[in-house]
Amino acid sequence: MRKRFNITGSCNPERNYMVQTDKRFKSIEELIDFGEYFTINRARQYGKTTTLSMIWRKLSDRYLVIKTSFEGVGDAPFKDEESFAKMFSGRILREIKSAENEQYAAIWKNPDIVSFDSLGQAIIAFCRAFPKPVVLLIDEVDKSSNNQIFVGFIGMLRDLYLGRDENGMNYTFHSVVLAGVYDVKNLKLKLRTDAERKYNSPWNIAADFKVDMTFHPEEIAQMLGDYENDMHTGMDIKAVSEEIYKYTFGYPFLVSKLCKVIDEELDQNWTVEGVQEATKQTILEKNTLFTSLTKSLEEYPELKRFIYSISILGDTVTYDINNPVMDFATMFSIIKYDANRKVRIHNIIFEEVLNNYFIAEQSIADMGKLRLQYNYVKDDVLDMEMVVRRFADLMHEEYRESTVPFLEREGRLLFLTFLKPVINGTGFYYVEPQTRDNRRMDLVVTYGKKEFIVELKIWHGDKYEQSGRDQLSEYLAVKGLEEGYLVTFDFSKNKVESEPHWIEHNGKRLFEAII
């Protein structure tokens, strides 16, 4: 049976191409061997379910691994202790039977499990009787983590955990692993529909889970190597894996998604251009990950303002774990921070999705203003000079006399709003992370097989204008390009008007437009 790249549910090495995770699994195995209780809290579609399945497959020889999930249980089991105890007991009994331990299932099968106390006693009796240590895995645990009954449940697990000191390791589960997006150590308990407050979680006994679950270029290369051994496409594995990492920053779902698109939809075009096409297709589609990403902006206005400030305005922000907005954005892998603790959008694909979200809002607000009246593509080649020139014309026509106060740095969003329908369907763009700040932002625009570099700057005087030319020329040299485009937003009253024009600078041709 041919293997496939998988983007739904748990991955299985017998059916799916997978990154080998032996090193990171070793760290997880050590936590379990030491009898730790911990939570694998990572963003959506980050490999949590696959990790639990891997624990079940690899450790079942030494442990009885009971794997269950709160997915699909509904609200009824969380209305009171008895309902929850019966639901949980039934799920555990089913897992014990599926492991062909009928004689021990009889120990667990107890109609009197109707409270946390009786559930705890059943756990003690079973773990003491079973010949191997028992490990409990619960997936999708945050489906009901804001519920008081759930808090009571993990409080019961905590009490049994503490009882091991006096009664021995087999007094209760040897290890408990919870998996979900939220860190159960820091619960927010909803007391009413219109309010919530922080709750001191009884899960403070849990060990920190610091395992890196992103896919690094060498790991992506290993997965592609396995694929190449089967399919013999002749791909440049190193170049393709690095290109995939560039756009995904190793986000597991996105890595597998790009590979799946190339394999199944792009006629196995395992080239740099193929990765770019897969990226463009992925950005334009609707999926649960992207829906969750934008929905979070709608639900949390503070998060929306924060993401807008760093993705569109280019604000430089230092990461602070005590800031609840930054903590939330990190937990959902919307942002990351570099070695200097400067905040960035997690990956290029997320950045494009978020930019499209803000562009859609701006497009509605400016409908009719940023109209397209020109053919910007000739012989399948994008005329970037005409794009910049026409954008400058529109800005002068539509915004110079506007009675609405205009922020210079908002011009970046207007340019993206103007550019998107020009290249939509054929090209795409991304922001070079290293050049993002409140003074400059480099866009890399890909159309067909050609790349264009457009630097968007805010005017800070002649000195910084010269610096901008130097920076753009240097970046063009890195990219191996001879021409670039410099768009400067300057709304000072003393600005001298000039037509967009070409200049020579440091051996490069730069097209300058001052708006």
Element containing residue 354 per DSSP (H, E): helix 348-365
Which of 282, 336, 328, 321 lies closest to 304, judged by CA?
328
CA distances from 434 to 185, 280, 444 (A): 34, 21, 12
Domain shared by 61 and 194, yes or no: yes
Parent domain of 50: 22-205
What lies within 8 Å, CB to CB, of 112 at 6+ separation is 118
Query: Above 50 in pLDDT, residue 404?
Result: no
Choose the weakest-confidence range: 97-101, 139-143, 263-267, 315-319.
97-101
- Domain tally, the chain: 3
Give the bridge partners for 345, in sequence order. 335
Q: What is the three-class DSSP state of 502? A: strand
Does residue 308 have a pLDDT over 50?
Answer: yes
115 and 235 part of one domain: no
Q: Where are the beta strands (DSSP E) in 125-224?
A: 134-139, 175-180, 188-192, 195-198
Angle (CA) 96-97-99 rounded to 5° is 70
**Span 470-481, average pLDDT:** 92
d(CA 326, CA 408): 26
Please indicate, yes or no, whether residues 200 and 280 belong to a single structural domain of this protein: no
Give the separation between CA 241 and CA 223, rounded to whole angstroms. 9
Residue 259 has pLDDT above 50, yes or no: yes
Q: Which of 107, 206, 120 is nearest to 163 (CA)?
A: 120
CA 260, 265, 269 angle in degrees (round to 5)?
A: 85
**Rounded average pLDDT over 350-371:** 79
**271 lies in the same domain as 182:** no
Angle 476-481-482 (CA atoms, 0-180°, nearest 5)? 95
Name the DSSP class of 332.
T
Q: What pLDDT is attached to residue 383?
A: 95
Question: Does the pLDDT at position 413 exceed 80?
Answer: yes
Same domain, 119 and 267: no
Shared-domain flag, residues 156 and 222: no
Per-residue pLDDT tens over the stretch 414-468: 899 889 888 877 888 888 876 666 567 889 999 988 999 999 888 766 666 677 8
* Out of 185-199, 321-335, 473-487, least confident range: 185-199
Residue type present at position 340? N
Q: What is the DSSP string of 231-286?
A: H-----HHHHHHHHHHHHTT-HHHHHHHHHHHHHTSTT--SHHHHHHHHHHHHHS-
- Domain boundary among the residues 265, 285, 305 is at 285
Domain assignment present for 357: no
Residues in the chain: 515
H-helix or E-strand containing 511?
Answer: strand 508-514
Query: What is the pLDDT, as a whole number, of residue 507?
Result: 95
The whole-number pLDDT of residue 189 equals 44
Residues 46 and 125 in one domain: yes
For 195, counting Cβ atoms within 10 Å of its Cβ (0-12 exposed, 13-18 middle, 19+ buried), the class is exposed
Residue listed under structure tokens 């889970």: 209
Residue 319 lies in a domain: no
Same structural domain, 71 and 134: yes
Mean pLDDT confidence for 480-487: 95
Q: Could you say which of 229, 258, 285 is where a domain stops?
A: 285
Judgement on whether residues 245 and 181 belong to the same structural domain of the protein:
no
199: pLDDT strictly greater than 70: no
Closest CA to 445 of 385, 371, 489: 385
Asked whether residue 345 is domain-assigned, the answer is: no
Identify the pLDDT of residue 403: 42
Cα dihedral across residues 97, 101, 106, 110: positive or negative: negative
Q: Residue 451: inside a domain, yes or no?
A: yes
Which range has the worst mean pLDDT, 362-376, 398-412, 486-500?
A: 398-412
11: nearest Cα among 60, 62, 43, 56: 56
Question: Which one of 230, 260, 285 terminates a domain?
Answer: 285
User: How high is the mean pLDDT of the chain?
Assistant: 87
Name the residue type at position 155.
G
Residue 379 and residue 268 share a domain:
no
pTM, two decimal places? 0.87
pLDDT at 427: 87
**Highest mean pLDDT: which range of 66-75, 135-144, 180-189, 380-389:** 380-389
Pairwise CA distance, residues 120 & 15, whole Å: 38
* Residue 222, both tokens: 């290993």
Q: Report yes or no: 47 and 74 within 8 Å, Cβ to Cβ.
A: no
* 241 occurs within a structural domain: yes
Is pLDDT of 191 > 50? no
Dihedral sign computed on CA atoms, order 241, 246, 251, 257:
negative
The CATH number for 116's domain is: 3.40.50.300
Return the pLDDT at 495.
59
| pLDDT above 90 (res 219) | yes
Beta-carbon contacts of residue 358 (< 8 Å; ≥ 6 apart): 308, 311, 312, 413, 416
Q: What would the pLDDT profile of 318-349 be if each residue is shown by its tens digit? A: 999 889 899 989 989 999 998 899 999 999 99
Contact status, residue 300 vs residue 44, Cβ threshold 8 Å:
no
Q: How far apart (Å, rounded) are the C-alpha atoms in residues 423 and 427? A: 5
Do 83 and 143 fall within a single domain?
yes
Q: Are residues 97 and 174 in the same domain?
A: yes
Residue type, position 167, single letter = N
